[in-house]
Amino acid sequence: MAATTTKSNTYTVNNVAPSVSSVYLQSTNDITLNYKFEDEIVASTTATISDNNGCTDIQSATGTIYWSGATGLYDCAQDDDDCYPIAAVNCSAVAGSCAGPSTASMTYICTTTLAFHALPTDNSTGNPNVDTYWLGAIKGFDEALSGVGTSSAEINDVMTGDALDVTDLAIAYGSITANTDSGTNNATTTVVNYGNSPLDVGFRGTDMTRSPTGWIAAAEQKYSTSSVTYGSLAWTLASTSPELYRDIEADRPTTAQEYISDDIYWGINIPSGKLSGTYSGINTFYSQLDNDGW
């Protein structure tokens, strides 16, 4: 007499750590920053996260955008100069990239903003970081395990950007009689570094005019980075192109809170015979990389 026997079998599916591949920073484009007090530039890193338990097993991701010389590399500590960890809340799966549990892979994107002073790595003149670069990293998580991947080396640079602001609305010489100069009474303008490089400044001005008639040549104005008498001021204001660049003390900022500035001291001579009245003109300030100031 035959008997029917049934047996139950139990199978355990092991959890496998996710793997991360095809990591790209800013779609392989170089990064041009905005300037101080402008909205920070948005930057992102993307990656394919794969899990042999299926893409639905992938729970979340975190990211990092970082300089290749940062301490700890993708595990670096937050520093707006060279390291931007990106929390899971700012990383998301690309819609439709996980087709279902039978598919292993999906795409994640992690997004942050970069400060105006982030370390430049391009080949701008004198840049000591020209042989370094920026990278993106993404770490994928399932319910218990994780895996990480980084973008390819020597692809992405943060570009050098020089910029300035002059905090003063006018160069106020006050009242000076004809056939005299400003002596020790210097007018002052403050130049602030708004970029991510050391700064030199170019100067050019127009002749000053009086309504309805009268003028004072731009070359009667002199300026310097030191407060001295008119005759000892270092430079004469140019009125024709090109503007003349001067080496001021304005290093590369390393934090958003740093106020990197230098004062420019101005004086003027009023030649004999000039009519009394108010004279006005325009002095223009130009930014330029200080290539020996790194």
Kindly report, residue by residue over 250-285, the tens digit of the pLDDT: 999 999 999 999 999 999 999 999 999 999 999 999
Q: Which two tokens stand for residue 69?
A: 């010389």
Structure tokens at 32: 């041009």
107 with 187, same domain? no
CATH number, residue 264: 2.60.40
Rounded distance between C-alpha atoms, residue 233 and residue 17, angstroms: 69
Q: Is residue 155 part of a domain?
A: no
Euclidean distance between CA atoms 150 and 133, whole angstroms: 13
User: What is the C-alpha separation between 236 and 181, in angstroms, rounded?
Assistant: 14
Residue 258's contacts (CB-CB under 8 Å, 6 or more residues apart) are 117
Q: Are residues 112 and 225 in the same domain?
A: no
In a domain, residue 139? The reply is yes
Distance (Å, rounded) from C-alpha 131 to C-alpha 71?
Answer: 17
- Is 122 found in the same domain as 98? yes
State both tokens at 260. 């990197």
In this prediction, residues 59-70 reach a mean pLDDT of: 99
Which of 125, 150, 175 is a domain's end point? 150
Sign of CA dihedral 205, 211, 212, 217: negative
Residue 176 tokens, joined: 């000076």
Tell the residue number behind the tokens 């793997």, with chain if given.
19
122 and 244 both lie in a single domain: no
pLDDT digits (tens, 9 = 90+) for 135-193: 999 999 999 999 999 999 999 999 999 999 999 999 999 999 999 999 999 999 999 99
- Position 8 scores a pLDDT of 75
186 with 115, same domain: the answer is: no
- What was the pLDDT predicted at 125? 97
**Residue 216's pLDDT band (cuts 50, 70, 90):** very high
Give yes or no: residues 174 and 272 share one domain.
yes
Residue 12 resides in a domain:
no
C-alpha dist (Å) from residue 221 to 97, 136, 240: 65, 51, 14
Pair 207, 281 in one domain: yes
Establish if 3 belongs to a structural domain: no
Residues 23 and 146 in one domain: yes
Residue pair 20/40 in contact by the 8 Å Cβ criterion: no
Average pLDDT score over residue span 40-69? 98
Is 167:263 a contact under the CB 8 Å cutoff?
Answer: no
pLDDT of residue 13: 74
**Per-residue tokens: 102:** 């039978």
HEC readout, 176-227: CCCCEECCCCCEEEEEEECCCCCEEEEEEECCEECCCCCEECHHHEEEECCC
Q: Compute the distance between CA of residue 181 and CA of residue 26 in angstroms, rounded to an integer.
A: 56
Q: Are residues 31 and 143 in the same domain?
A: yes
Domain count, the chain: 2
Q: Assess if residue 111 is contained within a domain.
A: yes
Give the pLDDT band of residue 14 (cuts 50, 70, 90): confident
For 167, list phi and psi in degrees, rounded to 5.
-75, -15
Share of the chain above pLDDT 70, in %: 99
Average pLDDT, the chain: 96
Distances (CA, A) of 205 to 140, 238, 240, 274: 57, 6, 8, 19
- Evaluate whether 219 touches 239 at the Cβ level (below 8 Å): yes
Query: In the predicted model, what is the mean pLDDT of residues 42-56?
Result: 97
278, exposed or middle or buried, with CB in 10 Å at 0-12, 13-18, 19+?
A: exposed
Residue-range definition of the domain harbouring residue 260: 164-289
Express each pLDDT in 73-99 by its tens digit. 999 999 999 999 999 999 999 999 999
Residue 2: which pLDDT band, with cuts at 50, 70 and 90?
low
Residues 70 and 184 placed together within one structural domain of the fold: no
3-state secondary structure of 61: strand
Instruction: Report the C-alpha gap between 216 and 208 in whole angstroms.
Output: 5
User: 170 in helix, strand or coil?
Assistant: coil
Domain-located, residue 156: no
Q: Would you say residue 14 lies in a domain?
A: no
Same domain (yes/no): 145, 254: no
277 and 172 in a common domain? yes
- Can you give the pLDDT at residue 4? 76
Residue that is last in its domain, among 99, 120, 150 = 150
Domain closes at, from 123, 150, 177: 150
Q: What is the pLDDT of residue 35?
A: 98
Residue 11: per-residue pLDDT: 74
* In-domain check, residue 1: no
Residue 119, both tokens = 């370390």
Is the pLDDT at 1 greater than 70? The verdict is: no
